[in-house]
């Protein structure tokens, strides 16, 4: 019985490891060549509902989204990109490795109907290979990256370029979305596309057709912004959407490239011995007295002088109230006092409702003492002076 259990366990482990192995896909690709891997929804659909086709006879076509990353890393390797336009479309991993090495990519598919998830492993091994020395880049204006990545479309594009380059020995080196290179998101209308750059490389030197891109007159036309057509005899595009934008064609001759500058030589990281440290001499002493006089004493003296001047103007030139009163004639002083008294009276009345009625409304009174007097004993001083009064000489001049 125990042996039987052991066998069952062994079988299970084997089955699981087999299943795991089947979910691991290995590819070997050369460095410097374009790589595409299509994530087929069909394959993942089988993982989600492996038996529904057989038993229930039902075929699902679920929307799916993919998440790809390097194993134990949050992101994809630098050279690898992922794209999927819509959950009902297949996804693509694409890119061009630039250095040899192994990348383990985890692919998670999430079923948007049942929210099940499946995981596949893709092991990409990049092997060293010589770079193609002559490369050319074309811009396909009427394309979108997902439409170019299927291998059939890549072959169509390659065929056109083979005609243009006049050689069979061509490889696609890179395909990039124009949006990744600073292109604009197109309007969501028919006839507007994101645009795709396709880079192609070959061992053979550029054809005459390709070299015409470099001619001065072509470049001048392109700079002028005219709609430059592919020159006659060089137009090989059979499918309109695969036609290239002539002015955006670029040629790269890697054989002419400068060798990389030599790496800087590394030192030991320790500075050379320069003997003992000699502290600098202390600077000569400076006389700060003139500065002190200019900045402190002079303003202080000026301030004191101004103070004295102001004090003299404010106090020295003033006459006292008594002196002034003595020089003023009596009738004018009296006039002033009545004005003051009246305004005081008005002020006190304004502050209090129940104030007694003003003295001036009484039949007769002494304005100084408030005493009433007989009407006939009126003060001999008139309240308002006559125009020409005998005291006018004693009034202070102005």
100 lies in the site for ligand NAG, by CB under 6 A: no
Site string for ligand NAG, 229-268 (x = CB under 6 A): ----------------------------------------
Query: What is the Cβ-side half-sphere exposure of residue 137, based on CA atoms within 13 angstroms?
Result: 12
CB 109 within 8 A of CB 65: yes
Identify which of residues 123 and 179 has a Cβ nearer to ligand NAG in the complex. 179
Distance, in Å, from the CA atom of 312 to the CA atom of 318, rounded to the nearest integer, reads: 9
CB 128 within 8 A of CB 98: no
Among 176, 202, 242, 249, indicate the residue that binds ligand NAG (CB under 6 A): 176
Q: Cα 220 vs. chain centroid, distance in angstroms?
A: 36
Among 10, 27, 98, 297, indicate the residue that binds ligand NAG (CB under 6 A): 98
Please name the residue that has the structure tokens 């630098």: 78
Q: Tell me how far, at minimum, the Cβ of 31 lies from ligand NAG, in Å.
A: 9
C-alpha pair distances (Å), 187 with each of 143, 184, 191, 192, 193: 14, 9, 9, 6, 8
Q: Tell me how far, at minimum, the Cβ of 132 lies from ligand NAG, in Å.
A: 10
Distance, in Å, from the CA atom of 208 to the CA atom of 165, rounded to the nearest integer, reads: 8
Q: Tell me how far, at minimum, the Cβ of 127 lies from ligand NAG, in Å.
A: 15
Q: Tell me how far, at minimum, the Cβ of 173 lies from ligand NAG, in Å.
A: 6
Among 53, 85, 119, 181, indicate the residue that binds ligand NAG (CB under 6 A): 181
Among 20, 61, 129, 180, indicate the residue that binds ligand NAG (CB under 6 A): 180
Q: Which of 175-183, 218-226, 330-338, 341-349 is the region at the interface with ligand NAG (rule: CB under 6 A)?
A: 175-183
Identify which of residues 131 and 294 has a Cβ nearer to ligand NAG in the complex. 131
- The residue nearest ligand NAG at its CB is 174
Q: Which of 37-45, 115-123, 145-153, 174-182 is the region at the interface with ligand NAG (rule: CB under 6 A)?
A: 174-182
Task: Pick out residues in 144-163 that bind ligand NAG (CB under 6 A).
Answer: none
Q: Tell me how far, at minimum, the Cβ of 135 lies from ligand NAG, in Å.
A: 8
CB 222 within 8 A of CB 228: yes
Strands 134-140 and 250-253, by their bridges, are: antiparallel
Query: What is the Cβ-side half-sphere exposure of residue 392, based on CA atoms within 13 angstroms?
Result: 6
Q: Tell me how far, at minimum, the Cβ of 245 lies from ligand NAG, in Å.
A: 17
Site string for ligand NAG, 261-300 (x = CB under 6 A): ----------------------------------------
202 lies in the site for ligand NAG, by CB under 6 A: no
SS3 label, residue 16: helix
Distance, in Å, from the CA atom of 145 to the CA atom of 94, rounded to the nearest integer, reads: 10
- Give residues with Cβ within 8 angstroms of 375, minimum separation 6: 363, 364
Identify which of residues 111 and 174 has a Cβ nearer to ligand NAG in the complex. 174
Concatenate the DSSP letters of all residues of 277-316 into one string.
--PPPPPPP---HHHHIIIIIHHHHHHHHHHHHHHIIIII
Distance, in Å, from the CA atom of 398 to the CA atom of 183, rounded to the nearest integer, reads: 90
Q: Which of 169-177, 295-303, 322-330, 383-391 is the region at the interface with ligand NAG (rule: CB under 6 A)?
A: 169-177
Distance, in Å, from the CA atom of 360 to the CA atom of 370, rounded to the nearest integer, reads: 10
Q: Which of 113-121, 171-179, 262-270, 294-302 is the region at the interface with ligand NAG (rule: CB under 6 A)?
A: 171-179
Q: Tell me how far, at minimum, the Cβ of 251 lies from ligand NAG, in Å.
A: 14
Q: What is the CA radius of gyration of the chain?
A: 53
174 lies in the site for ligand NAG, by CB under 6 A: yes
96 lies in the site for ligand NAG, by CB under 6 A: yes
Identify which of residues 97 and 109 has a Cβ nearer to ligand NAG in the complex. 97
Strands 117-127 and 24-30, by their bridges, are: parallel
Distance, in Å, from the CA atom of 6 to the CA atom of 191, rounded to the nearest integer, reads: 65
CB 100 within 8 A of CB 127: yes
Q: Tell me how far, at minimum, the Cβ of 181 lies from ligand NAG, in Å.
A: 5
184 lies in the site for ligand NAG, by CB under 6 A: no
SS3 label, residue 156: helix
Identify which of residues 118 and 198 has a Cβ nearer to ligand NAG in the complex. 198
Binding site for ligand NAG (CB under 6 A): 96, 98, 173-174, 176, 180-181, 199
């Amino acid at each position: 019985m125990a042996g039987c259990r052991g066998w069952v366990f062994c079988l299970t482990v084997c089955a699981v490891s087999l299943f795991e192995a089947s979910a691991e896909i290995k590819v070997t690709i050369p460095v410097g060549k374009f790589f595409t891997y299509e994530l087929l929804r069909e394959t993942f659909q089988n993982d989600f509902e492996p038996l529904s086709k057989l038993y229930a006879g039902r075929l699902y076509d679920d929307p799916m989204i993919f998440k790809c990353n390097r194993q134990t890393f949050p992101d994809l390797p630098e050279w690898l990109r992922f794209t999927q336009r819509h959950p009902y479309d297949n996804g693509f991993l694409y890119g061009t490795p630039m250095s040899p090495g192994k990348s383990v990519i985890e692919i998670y598919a999430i079923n948007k109907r049942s929210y099940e998830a499946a995981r596949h492993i893709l092991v990409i091994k990049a092997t060293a290979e010589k770079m193609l020395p002559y490369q050319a880049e074309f811009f396909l204006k009427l394309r979108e990256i997902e439409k170019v990545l299927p291998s059939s479309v890549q072959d169509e594009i390659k065929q056109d370029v083979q005609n243009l380059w006049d050689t069979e020995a061509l490889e696609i080196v890179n395909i990039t979305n124009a949006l990744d290179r600073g292109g604009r998101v197109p309007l969501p209308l028919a006839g507007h596309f994101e645009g795709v750059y396709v880079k192609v490389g070959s061992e053979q030197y550029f054809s005459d057709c390709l070299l015409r891109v470099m001619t001065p007159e072509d470049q001048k036309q392109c700079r002028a912004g005219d709609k430059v057509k592919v020159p006659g005899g060089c137009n090989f595009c059979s499918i309109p959407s695969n036609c290239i934008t002539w002015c955006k064609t670029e040629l790269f001759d890697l054989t002419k490239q400068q060798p990389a500058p030599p790496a800087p030589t590394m030192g030991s990281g320790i500075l050379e011995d320069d003997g003992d440290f000699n502290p600098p001499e202390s600077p000569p002493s400076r006389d700060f007295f003139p500065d002190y006089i200019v900045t402190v004493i002079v303003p202080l003296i000026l301030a004191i002088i101004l103070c004295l001047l102001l004090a003299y103007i404010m106090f020295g030139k003033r006459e006292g109230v008594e002196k002034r009163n003595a020089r003023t004639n009596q009738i004018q002083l009296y006039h002033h006092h009545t004005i003051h008294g009246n305004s005081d009276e008005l002020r006190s009345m304004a502050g209090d409702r129940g104030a007694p009625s003003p003295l001036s409304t009484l039949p007769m009174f002494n304005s100084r003492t408030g005493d009433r007097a007989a009407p006939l004993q009126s003060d001999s001083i008139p309240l308002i002076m006559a125009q020409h009064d005998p005291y006018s000489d004693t009034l202070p001049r102005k």
